[in-house]
Amino acid sequence: MRMLMNNLDPEVAEHPDQLIVYGGSGRAARSWDAYAAIIASLQDLEDDETLLVQSGKPVGVLRTHEWAPRVLIANSNLVPQWATWEEFRRLEQLGLTMYGQMTAGSWIYIGTQGILQGTYETFAAVAAKRFGGSLAGTITLTAGLGGMGGAQPLAVTMNGGVAICVDCDQSRITRRIEHGYLDEQADDTDDAIRLLGNAADVFPALLSSNAPIDIVTDQTSAHDPLTYLPRGVAFEDMAALRAEDPEGFTQRARESMAVHVAAMVGFLDAGAEVFDYGNSIRGEAQLAGYDRAFDFPGFVPAYIRPLFCEGKGPFRWAALSGDPKDIATTDQAILDLFPQNESLARWIRLAGEKVHFQGLPARICWLGYGERHLAGVRFNELVASGNLSAPIVLGRDHLDCGSVASPYRETEAMADGSDAIADWPLLNALVNTASGASWVSIHHGGGVGIGRSIHAGQVCVADGSELASAKLERVLTNDPAMGVIRHTDAGYDQAAEVAAQRGVRVPMAP
């Protein structure tokens, strides 16, 4: 219940009055009546009961057992032939569904920090690939400063570089400056870039002026054309135009994305490092008729897949006490548990110095198979001993090593061609349900849009009990194991080696 409420904390959510957490339209609940009913159901829930939530609406409470999840969530799922934005919006208008994004509808969003380390790791990989291990002396051009994209400028500067970020919403720019993710706002393109502007206008302008850009990406809400501002439309007029003519708005948005992506390809041709950051902007540009949209890769095949082969991914936790001292205690526990991991130690120190908490104090760090359960069990011990003042909630982004089928992002360019195989996130949800997670979710759409992904999430609670310790050990072992298994099955030698070395049983391993 605290985590659902935290998703809608004004410090956390983009539009809490509309139940929108992040990602343009990602909601925590279908309606305020549904939200109230979820809260009431959770308050009455027994230790051997499970609440069922269908696209943000509580639909049943069933007697299960103490190892079963307290909540099972399914968001935005449609039968494949009907999995289009048009059909989804028709059903949404009827009040029958909602868009859950990834961690919005699964109640484990922790603000911009939730994507920060993944963004940091991505830019570190860019630095290692092209710039000698550091972004010092480089300029990154990107767009989108919402709940996900807002992590970009701080991640770049943590790697030593300079970021120029474009957004059409002044409130997002202001929030990122207030929270320390951005340093300053430029006035115009002569000064650096007109931060308050439309990327589809600014990117081509910078390209034509031969701006010295080294790295280009984008994290606008391009996955949903109704949340991307078309060229020639004032931000203040966006909502009215969208409501008046959604089909025309969608076409204009896609045409603008084609211009945006064409400029990115132009920077690629000029020698910049260019990548898609998982928001489907390439696919939308292709729908608008731009035939070079996929000339640059997605960030997962370009930089992150080796981490996935080790079962690594965005592990996160939040302190239900609301006390930042509890996060300081868990930070120290991580440093004590993994003293040889210098990159992890550097991240924990940087996060402690630079990350502004939004809502409940929280932390993210990428841990892999054989590591996450050690952290979970240790946190539970700290709760039991009183070193932590209240329980800790442990979860992850759905963007993880073995929990997503997304051909434009996490599973793009798989070695065996299995990009669109969606069995894996379903198996992941089933495994976490069987292993004792506190709540488990299966969603459709996420950060790439309707018809383009299936993904699953899990969350556990460390309350200091022996039962919690047993559940944490099992869930936080089996969940990342799915990443090792999935990539071993796809033919990645690195994953097969990890499986063999660490005892992950894969019956038909190569």
Name the strand (E) or helix (H) holding 42.
Answer: helix 32-44
Residue 365 is a catalytic residue: yes
Alpha-carbon distance 35 to 95, whole Å? 14
Q: Which residue has the tokens 């509309």?
A: 18
Residue of 165, 168, 309, 365 with catalytic role: 365
Report which of 323, 321, 333 is spatially closest to residue 393, judged by C-alpha positions. Answer: 321
Q: Which amino acid is at 28?
A: A
In the numeric block, which tokens belong to residue 16?
């809490």
Token output for 60? 């049943």
Question: Which residues share a beta bridge with 318?
Answer: 362, 393
Q: Which of 119, 70, 80 is nearest to 397 (CA)?
A: 119
Would you list the DSSP string of 382-451?
HHHHTSSSS-EEEEE-S-SSSSEE-TTTTTTT-TTS-TT--HHHHHHHHHHHHHT-SEEEEEE-TTT-TT
Q: Is 314 exposed, middle or buried (0-12, 13-18, 19+ CB in 10 A)?
A: buried
Alpha-carbon distance of 456 to 447, in angstroms, equals: 13
Give exposure, 116-145, as e/b (b: 16+ Cβ within 10 Å). bbbbbbbbbbbbeeebeeebeebbbbbbbb
For 184, 272, 298, 401, 413, the CA distances from 165, given in Å and listed in that order, are 10, 16, 19, 28, 28
Q: Which tokens sit at 20?
A: 């929108």
Write out the catalytic residue numbers. Answer: 365
